[in-house]
Amino acid sequence: MPDRRSQRTSNSSFDPLNINLQPPANETEEQKAARLEAAWEATQVSRTIDAGLAESKKALEKKKRAVKILLLGQSESGKSSVLRNFRLSFTPKYFENERLVWKTVIQLNLINSIKKILTVLQEEWEELETDSAESKHEPALTSEHRRLALSLSPLLAFETSISRIMESSTGDYTVTVRPGGGWKDKLASFGHRSPSTPEAQSPTGETDSDPSQVTQVLAACKNEMIALWDDAIVRGVLERHGVYLQDDSGFFLDDTARIAALDYIPSDRDIMRARIKTLGVEEHRFVTESGFRAGTEFYITDLVCALNLTYPSQRSTWVPYFDDVQAILFLAPLAFWQSLDEDSKVNRVQDSLELWREIVGNPLLAKTAFILLFNKKDVLQAHIAAGVQVKKYVPSFGDRPNDVASVTKCTFVFSVADFRDKFSAYHRKFSPEPRPFIFYETEAIDTKSTAIILGEVQEQIIRNHLKDLDVM
């Protein structure tokens, strides 16, 4: 019988792989069964891998046909409110399903404001204990204020408990969560558990409070919260400590009577005003239920706080998100009186303009449409109506009339005739290729007017996207 070497020279159809795959000589039935079982399992694994690759390829192709938007701007510029307006306008069913989740966030916002007041009062008491009698402020805090503070202390325990459920932190009096939206699922599901079940136990073995119990506690403390906020002496203490809660996002103290009611359900406007901070990049996917081309898939990426120019080292972290983006919504808040939280020496308007110049000049975004939203016009109007003098914060404003029309036409720090023209000039000068300058003045918490603007924005973006896909 010829050996394998003679077969190799005499048989042109010789296949060494086939020979190696042949069953070994003297193979038992048990060995054969094991070999066939292993071969079957290997085939199944291979098919699973192939199916996964095919599914990933299919998902990638589908995502390429989706509309991708970047939402850019400073922290506190109103990006989250704009995103919620997108949800309200184009995915109303989804938005409605989240209403009770946002109720808990709003309640936490209210509690955080009370917590901030109590912290300032405690600081005031400590100062009074160390100061001489002559240096004490008049009028001073009384025993009634101590009683109010003590009666509201249970709210702080609930704030800690709910924050634990959401895996959030409130160190800066702001609800801060991880990206991904998992906190919403935790809040939604926790209310259906009994506090005595293992799932309702914290890692330390403590029992977390059901979010629905916060409503009961707020209702019980409603009168004390109103009394604390309405107290003229407390207001004076806050002012002496430089605390102006009305300027904070997530401010609901003026609505305490309504929000602390047992039957409270948040309005659309309440949800837009709610303050929650996400640390990190967050991508939101949704399919439109209404509007132009209903059924269109959107991916909106919020780069959150990573865009501040005072941290240039962070720029490399957001460059990857520029790939294959159809449009950038850039929010520039009209907050001439504010400086950055990260750097008190930098004016917000100046920072927005510098950030705008940086973004429009990026060659990776040469084909991307830019839509500029001058946001928080309502807050600007409120400050002007309250008599805030622009020239106090911006000497270059000079003796122009202290009204909204004059303020919106001024670039403040740059002393240029027209605020919008400065953005337009940077857009024209630094864009790698010519493209239209599109802008709107918005009030992100005004759901009706913002819905009209976003409807125009949505249609414009989709039409441009369909042209790129050669569909139109």
Q: Is residue 261 located within the same domain as residue 294?
A: no
Convert 337-363 to b/e letters by CB count within 10 Å (16 or more is b). Answer: bbebeeeeebbbbbbbbebbbebbebe
Segment 446-468 mean pLDDT: 80
> Residue 299 forms beta bridges with which residues?
68, 285
The whole-number pLDDT of residue 307 equals: 41
Convert 13-49 to b/e letters by CB count within 10 Å (16 or more is b). Answer: eeeeeeeeeeeeeeeeeeeeeeeeeeeeeeeeeeeee
How many domains does the chain contain in total?
A: 2
Residue partners of 300: CB distance under 8 A and separation at least 6: 68, 69, 70, 71, 83, 86, 283, 284
282 found inside a domain: no
Residue partners of 255: CB distance under 8 A and separation at least 6: 270
Cβ atoms 68, 462 nearer than 8 A: no
Q: Is residue 75 located within the same domain as residue 220?
A: no
Confidence of residue 207 (pLDDT cuts 50, 70, 90): very low
337 found inside a domain: yes
- Amino acid at residue number 4: R
Q: Is residue 196 located within the same domain as residue 236?
A: yes
The whole-number pLDDT of residue 6 equals: 46
390 found inside a domain: yes
Dihedral sign, Cα of residue 469, residue 470, residue 471, residue 472: positive
Asked whether the predicted pLDDT for residue 324 surpasses 50, the reply is: yes
How many CB atoms are located within 10 Å of the residue 1 CB?
A: 3
Q: Is residue 421 located within the same domain as residue 378?
A: yes
310 is in an annotated binding site: no
64 is in an annotated binding site: no
Asked whether the predicted pLDDT for residue 292 surpasses 70, the reply is: yes
| Residue that wins the pLDDT comparison between 348 and 87 | 87
Cβ atoms 69, 329 nearer than 8 A: yes
45 found inside a domain: no
Q: Is residue 231 located within the same domain as residue 328?
A: no
375 is in an annotated binding site: yes
Q: Is residue 337 located within the same domain as residue 256?
A: no
Q: Hey, what are 150's tokens?
A: 């003590």
Q: Is residue 139 located within the same domain as residue 195?
A: yes
10 found inside a domain: no
Question: CB burial class (10 A; 0-12, 13-18, 19+) of residue 9?
Answer: exposed
Domain boundary among 220, 244, 273: 273
> Residue 277 forms beta bridges with which residues?
176
Domain that holds residue 304: 66-91+288-468
Q: Is residue 132 located within the same domain as residue 155?
A: yes
135 found inside a domain: yes
Confidence of residue 228 (pLDDT cuts 50, 70, 90): very high
308 is in an annotated binding site: no
Confidence of residue 256 (pLDDT cuts 50, 70, 90): very high
Asked whether the predicted pLDDT for residue 48 surpasses 80, the reply is: yes
- Amino acid at residue number 218: L
The whole-number pLDDT of residue 116 equals: 94
Segment 435-444 mean pLDDT: 84
Q: Is residue 322 located within the same domain as residue 458?
A: yes
Segment 120-131 mean pLDDT: 85
452 found inside a domain: yes
Residue 429, SS3 per DSSP: helix
376 is in an annotated binding site: yes
- Amino acid at residue number 169: S
Q: Is residue 264 located within the same domain as residue 373?
A: no
391 is in an annotated binding site: no
CATH of the domain at 406: 3.40.50.300
The whole-number pLDDT of residue 221 equals: 94
